[in-house]
Amino acid sequence: METWRDLERDLEDMREYYRHGKTKEASWRKSQLKGLLTLLKEKEGDIFKALKQDLGKHHVEAFRDEIGTLTKTVNTALESLKDWMSSKTAKLPRIALQTSAEIVPEPLGLVLIISSWNFPFGLSLEPMIGALAAGNTVVLKPSELAPACASLLANAISTYLDNKAVKVIQGGPSVGEQLLQQRWDKIFFTGSAHVGRIVMSAAVKHLTPVTLELGGKCPAVLDSLSSSWDMKVELMKNIIKEMFGENPKESHSIARIINKQHLLRLKNLLKDPHVDASIVYGGSVDEDNLFIEPTILVDPPLQAAIMTDEVFGPLLPIITLEKIEDSVQFINSRPKALAIYCFTKNKTLQRMMISETSSGSVTFNDTIIQYAADTLPFGGVGESGFGRYHGKFSFDTFSHEKAITRRSFLTDLWFRFPPWNNYKLQLLESAFNYDYLGLVLVILGLKRHRQRSAGI
């Protein structure tokens, strides 16, 4: 347990280490990324165990969603690092004689990553990969609601990465509060909108830029395709049985609810008699084993909490509409979500979805998979957050794009300088319009400027 003074001293040490410039070197960044790769390989078994313990997550799911995607991300970062770190030339107009301009990415400095409990490795390390690739020193605060994972992260990171530059600080809300009081060069937060507001408010003190990856109610719009909705519900029931067997609780392929508090929250969503009446499948809750079976509801009341709050659990309400196009209005009358899914072959509906709704992302004919696409920015808009990451976007999110312009002494647009007169004004106007012919004409005295009153 760190005391306030210890924390401040540790952070100052990390800033000092950053100032020495080690983390800016490409070789250091590569070594950290390779360290993560080794961590993921060697600690795979322990990671599976920790996820099983905290979330009841099956190890294949853990691989698919956490280790596998992280490995892919580290490999992409290693391959692309040189390119990401390189400066980009900025094109200049011809009048900028003997001038060159470029954009150089530089690390922000000391960054804070706060991650959530649902993908405790993925959501901790995915941003960290970007932060390290960008040359920053990093403090990670993993969620205390997944304690085995948090503790494994702390141990593993101190073993595989540079301790002077990367630290894991464990703890609950009070530790989080302490950390938010410190001065950071960036805060990357994944979690709820409620805590997101707290994080951004705390960041005001030091004008720290933040990225907030929040949530929301992500809808899946299901077009009629080939069957009616009740046939689709039957289909879903069958698929659930296929995936999880007759008794999902016995199947090890389905995760548990994280803790009692969330289980009760979810149980409460079903309490309303009208909501309860709309359950067509599942609905059983095993409090002792933190298990809720896959549950489908059809047309629960729209004002019920299950339709106003983010579910974040195994309950799936289905809302039926007259026309599928009505889903656009339905979605737009609610806060913007992190993702919209739409299952349709109808190109018009697809276009409507993209241009008439707003969300972090839109995925057609699948779910979740956009998370694995490195070339797509992953982030929210409105209530679902702001900022983005994945692939190069992670690198950029933890970088400052520094603009660098170099001039020569030899050439000067002499008409830049006072004392002012109309002649210089004409030249400047032509220059600003990149009107090279105009410039020449003015110099040759062949262009008359429209009259200006100098009645000042």
Partner 1 sequence: MVSVEKEMKVFDLEAASSMVKELRDEFLSGKTRSYEWRVTQLKNIIKMSEDREQDIVKALHSDLGKPEFESSIYEISMLKNACTLAIKKLKQWMKPEKVKTSLTSFPSSAEIVSEPLGVVLVISPWNYPFLLSIEPVVGAIAAGNAVVLKPSEIAPATSSLLAKLVGEYLDNSLIRVVEGAVAETSALLEQKWDKIFYTGNSRIGRIVMAAAAKHLTPVLLELGGKCPAVVDSSTNLKVAARRIVAGKWGCNNGQTCVAVDYILTTKDVALKLVDALKHELEGFYGKNQLESKDRSRIVNSNHFARLTKLLDEDKVSGKIVHGGERDKANLKIAPTILLDVPRDSLIMNEEIFGPLLPIFTVEKVENSFDVINSGTKPLAAYLFSDNKKLKEQFVMAVSAGGLLINDTIIHLTVDALPFGGVQESGMGAYHGKFSFDAFSHKKAVLYRSFAGDAPVRYPPYTNGKLKFMKALMSGSILGVICALFGWSKN
Minimum separation from the CB atom of position 278 to partner 1 (A): 26
Question: Would you call 237 exposed, middle or buried from its count of C-beta atoms within 10 A (0-12, 13-18, 19+)?
Answer: middle
Contact 55, 258 (CB under 8 A): yes
Q: How far is CA 340 from CA 35, 103, 216, 336, 345, in A?
A: 36, 34, 10, 9, 16
Q: Which of 106, 91, 111 lies closest to 186, judged by CA?
A: 111
Q: How far is CA 100 from CA 105, 380, 411, 434, in A?
A: 17, 36, 13, 17
Tokens representing 245? 């067997």
Contacts within 8 Å (CB) and 24+ apart, 88-92? 90/403
Q: Which of 335, 367, 34, 323 lies closest to 214, judged by CA?
A: 335
* Of 123 and 340, CB closest to partner 1: 340
* Of 52 and 267, CB closest to partner 1: 52
Phi then psi dihedrals of residue 73, to 5 deg: -65, -45
* Of 32 and 73, CB closest to partner 1: 73
* Of 278 and 384, CB closest to partner 1: 384
Q: Which of 185, 128, 123 lies closest to 161, judged by CA?
A: 128
* Of 276 and 309, CB closest to partner 1: 309
* Of 68 and 147, CB closest to partner 1: 68
Phi then psi dihedrals of residue 292, to 5 deg: -125, 130
At 417, which amino acid appears?
F
Distance CA 109, CA 106 (A): 9
Minimum separation from the CB atom of position 348 to partner 1 (A): 14
Minimum separation from the CB atom of position 355 to partner 1 (A): 7
Q: What would the DSSP string read from start to end of 253-288?
A: TSPPPS-HHHHHHHHHHTTSHHHHHTEEE---EETT
Minimum separation from the CB atom of position 424 to partner 1 (A): 7
291 forms beta bridges with 286
Distance CA 58, CA 65 (A): 11
Minimum separation from the CB atom of position 268 to partner 1 (A): 25
Minimum separation from the CB atom of position 99 to partner 1 (A): 8
Minimum separation from the CB atom of position 448 to partner 1 (A): 17
Minimum separation from the CB atom of position 214 to partner 1 (A): 7
Minimum separation from the CB atom of position 217 to partner 1 (A): 15
* Of 160 and 378, CB closest to partner 1: 378
3-state helix, strand, coil in the chain (%, to 5): 45, 15, 40
Minimum separation from the CB atom of position 358 to partner 1 (A): 6
* Of 277 and 373, CB closest to partner 1: 373
Q: What would the DSSP string read from start to end of 355-392?
A: HH---SEEEES-SSGGGG-TTS-B---GGGEE--BSHH
* Of 168 and 213, CB closest to partner 1: 213
* Of 124 and 426, CB closest to partner 1: 426
